Amino acid sequence: MTSTAPLMILIAGPYASGTDGDPARMQQNLARLEEAAWPIFRAGHIPMIGEWVALPVLSSAGASGPTDPLAAEVMYPTAERLLQHCDAVLRLPGASKGADQDVAIARSRDLPVYFSLDEVPGVDAA
């Protein structure tokens, strides 16, 4: 457990990027993002992934999924809204316009941006 106050950390990385809309590949990308959640939580922080919020919002709006045209109005805006409440971003490797946008927003708000779990306070000692 970290001795600092818990941080809400947005885990950013590829989700739809490079999948050609294949739901199985998007699920693999989401699973990769989620792998970082436990070490962040174990270190005393709150992990957050934009898709955890955006996908249920899309579903409740009647969208067919992340490739639905409505996704453009939900996916990136969800991450932007979450970043108003997050304290930091963990940027995982891989090409992703959305994750790059998350990093740019975080930097514009002077939030820390980590590029590996080892950089997150408390994770290396957890």
- Which pTM was predicted? 0.92
Q: 12 forms bridges with which residues in the sheet?
A: 91
> In a 10 Å sphere around its CB, with 0-12 CB exposed, 13-18 middle and 19+ buried, how is residue 62 labelled?
exposed
- In percent, the amount of the chain with pLDDT more than 90 equals 91
Give the chain's domains with CATH numbers.
Answer: 8-119 (3.40.50.10400)
Instruction: Report in angstroms the alpha-carbon separations of 93 from 25, 26, 99.
Output: 16, 15, 10
- Chain-wide mean pLDDT for the chain? 94
Please give the distance of CA 49 from its chain centroid, rounded to a whole number.
3
Q: 113 forms bridges with which residues in the sheet?
A: 89
Query: What mean pLDDT do residues 54-63 have?
Result: 96
pLDDT in tens, 62-120: 999 999 999 999 999 999 999 999 999 999 999 999 999 999 999 999 999 999 999 99
What's the pLDDT score for residue 124?
A: 76
Amino acid found at 31:
A
**Residue 126 clears pLDDT 50, i.e. is over it:** no
What's the pLDDT score for residue 117?
A: 96
**Residue 2 clears pLDDT 60, i.e. is over it:** no
